[in-house]
Amino acid sequence: MAAVETESAPLTLESLPTDPLLLILSFLDYRDLINRRLSQLSSHDPLWRRHCKKYWLISEEEKTQKNQCWKSLFIDTYSDVGRYIDHYAAIKKAWDDLKKYLEPRCPRMVLSLKEGAREEDLDAVEAQIGCKLPDDYRCSYRIHNGQKLVVPGLLGSMALSNHYRSEDLLDVDTAAGGFQQRQGLKYCLPLTFCIHTGLSQYIAVEAAEGRNKNEVFYQCPDQMARNPAAIDMFIIGATFTDWFTSYVNNVVSGGFPIIRDQIFRYVHDPECVATTGDITVSVSTSFLPELSSVHPPHYFFTYRIRIEMSKDALPEKACQLDSRYWRITNAKGDVEEVQGPGVVGEFPIISPGRVYEYTSCTTFSTTSGYMEGYYTFHFLYFKDKIFNVAIPRFHMACPTFRVSIARLVG
């Protein structure tokens, strides 16, 4: 496909997406008294203030710094990023919210962000790959051109005893270098990259091989197919905006925990909490696409458990975990029971106000399943007295996936 060259749209009656009356009034001349009055009305600054805030998120402080009227600010901004007017506010808000949240928590991550790309940089990438980039993708990269390849990555981390992932948001030139034209990933541009696993999330810049245009996904090679083009996909977002803003919302809402200056992509269900006496157990979960496959069906999940004793508990309530019991049920209703000493090889002691957290993992041959169970503790001051602490039922489900066309037609 030939590259499509684009330029910033001129400010015209047809292109300026403000109120119809304001548009009409903006283009009147001064040939008579009525037109003069209407033209004055069209330049009324409070009218343009509303549009500057709505479309460009320009603050009063920014206006003061620029020393311009609102109408001038609107027109200047439109001449720069006017083609993105349908996306700019949502993307800019997501970036602003993310940086505000991360600056006091993960300052190194914010410092790794690159300045925005220029229009000509993005045009050059389109020419290089022979495809047009989605406008919302271009809009985001005008604000920040990805990040430096560092750890931790902006798009989250995951750590198990022998596995670590941290995904960087690629700059547009690096992404273009990884643009795929091979069978199975045709017209796919990488958005992220993990230097430890080689894992990437891709965006489909064209509809091909069963993918919808603009979908964001993790690739999943078919391990049982002889054809290397047989690549299934776990779908993460319908568009770049959907993918990016939903991730940011999870981060800034506290849905993803910050651990050692990194964003960990565990999802916590607020209802997944159980309290037994003075001890509360809560669970968050995560799906790991890099360790999963659709064919054969093997879906890998990790879970993070927090065990906390109330700070108001009496000192004699201090206790130690002895064993665990799990009841694991897959989507077919098959049940597996597991019982064993400690958790991840440890026998933690819990006392008033203390918290113990650990991570573990499980796999299912079905796309979803759930776990529940209990821990057995004994009191430190009454060693012969034991009791069970409930672990709430927590569900795990893999993202929507689509099997490879190469396998369907093979």
* Whether the predicted pLDDT of 3 surpasses 60: no
pLDDT per position as a tens digit, 97-150: 999 999 999 999 999 999 999 999 999 999 999 999 999 999 999 999 999 988
b/e map of 171-200 (b: 16 or more CB within 10 Å)? bbeebbeebbeeebbebbbbbbbbeebebb
* Whether the predicted pLDDT of 31 surpasses 90: no
- Non-local CB neighbours of 80 within 8 Å, separated by 6+ positions: 8
Rounded CA-CA distance 23/30 in Å is 16
Rounded CA-CA distance 291/282 in Å is 25
* Whether the predicted pLDDT of 32 surpasses 80: no
Query: What's the mean pLDDT in 339-364?
Result: 97
Query: What's the mean pLDDT in 40-48?
Result: 74
Q: Is 384 exposed, middle or buried (0-12, 13-18, 19+ CB in 10 A)?
A: exposed
Instruction: Quote the pLDDT of residue 407.
Output: 73
pLDDT per position as a tens digit, 203-254: 999 999 999 999 999 999 988 888 889 999 999 999 999 999 999 999 999 9
| pLDDT, the chain, mean | 91
pLDDT per position as a tens digit, 241-280: 999 999 999 999 999 999 989 999 999 888 899 999 999 9
Residues of the chain with pLDDT > 70: what percent?
A: 89
Instruction: Quote the pLDDT of residue 269.
Output: 86
Q: How many CB atoms lie within 10 A of CB 288?
A: 21
Report whether 231 contacts 293 (CB < 8 A): no
Instruction: Quote the pLDDT of residue 409.
Output: 59
Domains by residue range for the chain, with CATH = 88-254 (3.40.1580.10), 267-399 (2.60.40.1470)
Q: Picking from 6-10, 250-254, 305-309, 367-371, which range would have the lowest pLDDT averaged per residue?
A: 6-10
Instruction: Quote the pLDDT of residue 228.
Output: 86
pTM confidence score: 0.87
